[in-house]
Chain A
């Protein structure tokens, strides 16, 4: 299968590879997929609690080149967006940007799911009352 130049670029120079501190209340972590299916994506966002803007995003992906490119692109797009803007990212945007062939559409779906899972995790965490220093 021939890959688009953009997929190759993300594969060869993945953006924002790494990990954020899972325990940080401002960090949301989403992990989707399964090793048996051949792809697992872990996507993390760090949100500024005052502005609600995503300040940082990191990913790690086990999967084919298109899965790596989809998640790398997702982290690029997430940075600087508000949480609500981030929720508006659709898998079809990723398909168009990376020129993914039909057999690779599931990679873009996985990336969208990872974004949503990370945001869910962040929202769940930030809705909890602060544990430290809570009244006895």
Chain B
């Protein structure tokens, strides 16, 4: 076994060596500018880009012409939401999103609020699900866009995207989804799901960092966007800037590989995740955050009551995972996603997210489970809260001396 063990695949993934191989010629041999139309270097680069466009489109059931390349999902989310808001401002000024979205969506919406747009942030249920009736009720004749992520990056909750898409279509509202955690991991089809715009990034599916894409529907309806970057008018005028050819080729190859291996990989991930879950569930006072029903197969997020998350990470320092504890964030606030599920701050502080990946082995899962059990036990010996819990004290009734 190689240490440290990487179980943080929702943050980023290793680049698959096959992806690296596909990219290499585009650095030193086929290094032309894909926009150079008058020589072989440009044609070669363009060919690579168009092959990648097709590979991405095939993975999500789209047409090649509907793929716009960007620098990653943060840019895709900005382009989709701001681009739609500005293009359709005459039609309406209302946007609907959810409390558990990624900051790239939430902060983009907050930016638009300052420009006079109105944003509804839908609460979620304990599982992480958006309430569809609440969504229906929130749509008004001023609503131009609904942006709900496909799957959540912390708790792996997979939203009922097809139903959300259907509601949006019926009401004539555009539907954007942040597909970062789902694309390449579970089947995603923009036609079946009635998705109008979808953000994708390469580095979450074994491709390189710094490259992503935005799916923009061209038919039923034809979605238009106001460009956020002015320049040479690349990407059908929606995103200027010289294309990152090696990165794009990498994204394409990563999508093709994901499509080939998806059924087998999903089953393998699910088996590893369930194995980890079964072992960790033997820990007293441990809780799964989110729902085991509608969850990405490679995600597990659990809270271990009375043990603070950062101290837990310190004890498992040969394992790379992340925590919803305040101490691991810059703001000293615990995870807003877990809080949106209705989790108390105390449990949010004790949460750990495990992200299984293509290169995770069963041996690693067993090591992680045993180490977690050992460290939780050790830290509970140190925990005054655990002592009080064992003495039967109701911690919610204690008057704490907050500082």
A42 within 8 A of partner (CB) = yes
Partner of B383, one of A62, A65, A106: A62
The smallest C-beta distance from B132 to any residue of chain A, in angstroms, reads 32
Stretch of B63-71, B152-160, B185-193, B395-403 lying at the A interface: B395-403
Q: Which residues, 27 to 49 on A, are CB-close (under 8 Å) to B?
A: 31-42
A88 within 8 A of partner (CB) = no
A63 within 8 A of partner (CB) = yes
The smallest C-beta distance from A122 to any residue of chain B, in angstroms, reads 17
The smallest C-beta distance from B332 to any residue of chain A, in angstroms, reads 8
* Contact of A62 with B384 in the complex, beta carbons under 8 Å: yes
Which B residues lie within 8 Å of A42 (CB)? 384, 387
Q: Which of B311, B315, B326 has the most CB of A within 10 A?
A: B311
Which B residues lie within 8 Å of A75 (CB)? none
* Contact of A37 with B402 in the complex, beta carbons under 8 Å: yes
A110 within 8 A of partner (CB) = yes
Which B residues lie within 8 Å of A103 (CB)? 332
B162 within 8 A of partner (CB) = no
* Contact of B349 with A61 in the complex, beta carbons under 8 Å: no
B346 within 8 A of partner (CB) = yes
Which B residues lie within 8 Å of A109 (CB)? 403
The proximity string for B residues 372-403 relative to A, scoring 1 for CB distances below 8 Å and 0 otherwise, is 00000000011111110000000100001111
Q: Which residues, 144 to 185 on B, are CB-close (under 8 Å) to A?
A: none
Give the distance in Å from the alpha carbon of A42 to the alpha carbon of B400 in the complex: 12
* Contact of B384 with A34 in the complex, beta carbons under 8 Å: no
* Contact of A32 with B401 in the complex, beta carbons under 8 Å: yes
The smallest C-beta distance from B284 to any residue of chain A, in angstroms, reads 16
Using known A-B contacts A35-B385, A36-B345, determine if residue A3 contacts B314 with beta carbons closer than 8 Å.
yes
* Contact of A19 with B387 in the complex, beta carbons under 8 Å: yes
Using known A-B contacts A38-B325, A38-B327, A38-B349, determine if residue A62 contacts B403 with beta carbons closer than 8 Å.
no
Beta-carbon nearest neighbor of B345 in chain A: A36
* Contact of B384 with A61 in the complex, beta carbons under 8 Å: yes
Q: Which residues, 279 to 327 on B, are CB-close (under 8 Å) to A?
A: 306-311, 314-315, 325-327
* Contact of B400 with A40 in the complex, beta carbons under 8 Å: yes
Give the distance in Å from the alpha carbon of A106 to the alpha carbon of B381 in the complex: 23
The smallest C-beta distance from A61 to any residue of chain B, in angstroms, reads 6
A74 within 8 A of partner (CB) = no
Give the distance in Å from the alpha carbon of A33 to the alpha carbon of B403 in the complex: 6
Q: Which of B307, B308, B346 has the most CB of A within 10 A?
A: B308
A118 within 8 A of partner (CB) = no
Q: Which of B345, B349, B384, B400 has the most CB of A within 10 A?
A: B384
* Contact of A62 with B307 in the complex, beta carbons under 8 Å: yes
* Contact of A33 with B401 in the complex, beta carbons under 8 Å: yes
Give the distance in Å from the alpha carbon of A31 to the alpha carbon of B327 in the complex: 20
Instruction: Give the number of chain B interface residues (Cβ < 8 Å).
Output: 29
Give the distance in Å from the alpha carbon of A28 to the alpha carbon of B328 in the complex: 33
A68 within 8 A of partner (CB) = yes
The smallest C-beta distance from A19 to any residue of chain B, in angstroms, reads 7
The smallest C-beta distance from A77 to any residue of chain B, in angstroms, reads 18
Q: Which residues, 88 to 123 on A, are CB-close (under 8 Å) to B?
A: 103, 106, 109-110, 113, 117
Which B residues lie within 8 Å of A3 (CB)? 314
Q: Main SS of the interface on chain B?
A: helix
The smallest C-beta distance from B4 to any residue of chain A, in angstroms, reads 15
Give the distance in Å from the alpha carbon of A38 to the alpha carbon of B331 in the complex: 13
Partner of A110, one of B382, B383, B403: B403
* Contact of B382 with A60 in the complex, beta carbons under 8 Å: yes
Which B residues lie within 8 Å of A117 (CB)? 401
Which A residues lie within 8 Å of B325 (CB)? 38, 64
Beta-carbon nearest neighbor of A19 in chain B: B387
Which B residues lie within 8 Å of A40 (CB)? 384-385, 400
Give the distance in Å from the alpha carbon of A117 to the alpha carbon of B310 in the complex: 25
* Contact of B346 with A35 in the complex, beta carbons under 8 Å: yes
Give the distance in Å from the alpha carbon of A62 to the alpha carbon of B307 in the complex: 6
Using known A-B contacts A35-B349, A41-B384, A68-B311, determine if residue A62 contacts B306 with beta carbons closer than 8 Å.
yes
**Extra pairs beyond A17-B381, A34-B400, A35-B346 (20, CB < 8 Å):** A3-B314, A14-B382, A35-B345, A35-B400, A36-B345, A36-B349, A37-B403, A38-B308, A38-B325, A40-B400, A60-B387, A61-B382, A62-B383, A62-B385, A63-B308, A64-B314, A64-B325, A65-B310, A68-B382, A103-B332
Q: Can you pick out 19 interface pairs between chain A and chain B where the beta carbons lie within 8 Å of each other? A: A17-B381, A33-B402, A34-B403, A35-B400, A37-B326, A38-B349, A40-B384, A40-B385, A42-B384, A42-B387, A62-B306, A62-B385, A62-B386, A64-B308, A64-B311, A65-B311, A67-B308, A68-B382, A106-B403
**B-binding residues in A (CB < 8 A):** 3, 11, 14, 17, 19, 31-42, 60-65, 67-68, 103, 106, 109-110, 113, 117
The list of the 8 closest CB pairs from A to B, nearest first, reads A34-B400, A35-B346, A42-B384, A36-B345, A64-B310, A60-B384, A38-B349, A34-B402
